[in-house]
Structure 1
Amino acid sequence: MLAYRRLWIIAAIIFVADQATKIWVNATLPFNSYGLDGITVIPGFFNLVHVGNTGAAWSMFSGRSTLLALLALATLVALFFWRRHLGLKHPTAQIAFGLLCGGIVGNLVDRLLHGHVIDFVDLHFGNYVYPTFNVADSAICVGVFWYVLWSLRQPTSSNT
């Protein structure tokens, strides 16, 4: 387990940051607080709101929170069993998967406690409203992107 300490530390930091922000949102903003009930951080661009998402990214699979919780657990188990094949002893891979695992666990805890994921970052780009998200979602996206970039740069082994 010490070989993966970087992954564990990053996952713990992401999980704590995610849950701390969601506790603050729960305590500060009324549920479904779009518009006047939200907090404007940068007018016309960035608001803090309090919404629940029973789906995945962009509300895909809405209403399937139990299925998504099971998928999250299966993903964590798969990562554990395939850790050697994923190169998780490498520091860069540990950072990527620390972000990924911390985010997965953060959203999983929401699904188990609330039946939905708490989202609160509300971004607007002109007339386009980006789907509301949270710290865990950001960590998952950055972790996947980081790992894909890293894995594409790894030398391939030749079987000849």
Structure 2
Amino acid sequence: MDNTGQVVSDATKQDVAAPARVNYARLWIIAAVVLILDQVSKLWIVNTVPPGASPYDGGLIAVIPGFFYIIHVYNDGAAWGMFSGYSYILGFLGAIALGAIFYFRQQLELYRPFVQVIFGLLIGGIVGNMIDRFAYGHVVDFLDFHFGSYRYPAFNIADSGITVGVALYVIASVIESFRDYRAKKS
């Protein structure tokens, strides 16, 4: 019997359980793709580009000279080098974030396909940078963009997954709020 007092067969229970497993497949596949791309690219960088390579000291790969370079730098902080020297603490904060995502998965509506895309990107990025932090004590960054005289801080695929995931989450939240507002108004 289910919680309404109706008799539920084993076949019905399996049919109900199957979509839950399938629904999360999108999240895990996206997280795995981001993680694999991140770790493979970092391994290639570590084995190909000398550490510290930058546009100013050689050893880099100029993909689009004056705009896009492949470099090899270490970041023991967070975005833009904030919290430098706290790599392990940032790694533990990443683990806490993953635990929170798991714990609040119903409230975050992880069963929704688009939300799975968002959190797949986030989880893949968080785990990719956590691996670096705990294995090396820093994150390997290698994507280097220049906009005129401005040099954007170097980043990696994990950072990209996190950034795109957060951006999509903000956009989805704004759209959802706008829809709720319009529904209440009409």
Tell me the CA shift for residue 152 of structure 1. Answer: 2.0
Q: CA RMSD in A?
A: 1.3
Which consecutive segments of 4 or more residues in structure 1 shift more than 4 A?
A: none
Tell me the CA shift for residue 53 of structure 1. Answer: 0.1
State the AA in 2 paired with 1:54: D
State the AA in 1 paired with 2:161: A
Q: How many residues align?
A: 158
Tell me the CA shift for residue 147 of structure 1. Answer: 1.4
Cα distance between partner residues in 2 of 1:4 and 1:78: 16
TM-score, normalised relative to structure 2:
0.82
Cα distance between partner residues in 2 of 1:6 and 1:153: 22
Tell me the CA shift for residue 8 of structure 1. Answer: 0.4
Cα distance between partner residues in 2 of 1:38 and 1:68: 28
Q: SS at the partner of 1:37?
A: coil
**Is 1:77 matched up with 2:70?**
no
**Is 1:4 matched up with 2:24?**
yes
**Structure 1 counterpart of 2:114, from 67, 70, 92:** 92
Higher-Rg structure is: 2
Higher relative contact order (CA 8 A, sep 6+): 1
Cα distance between partner residues in 1 of 2:137 and 2:50: 17
Tell me the alpha carbon deviations over residues 66-110 of structure 1, each in whole angstroms, 9 at most, x when there is no partner: 110110000000000011111111111000000000000000000
Tell me the alpha carbon deviations over residues 104-159 of structure 1, each in whole angstroms, 9 at most, x when there is no partner: 0000000011110000001000000000000000110000111111122224497x
Cα distance between partner residues in 2 of 1:137 and 1:71: 15
Q: SS at the partner of 1:21?
A: helix
**Is 1:148 matched up with 2:170?**
yes
State the AA in 1 paired with 2:107: H
Q: Please, which runs of 5 or more residues in structure 1 have no aligned partner?
A: none
Q: Please, which runs of 5 or more residues in structure 2 have no aligned partner?
A: 1-19
Structure 1 equivalent of residue 151 of structure 2: 129
Q: SS at the partner of 2:155?
A: coil
State the AA in 2 paired with 1:93: V
Structure 2 equivalent of residue 17 of structure 1: 37
Identity among equivalent pairs (%): 50
State the AA in 2 paired with 1:123: F
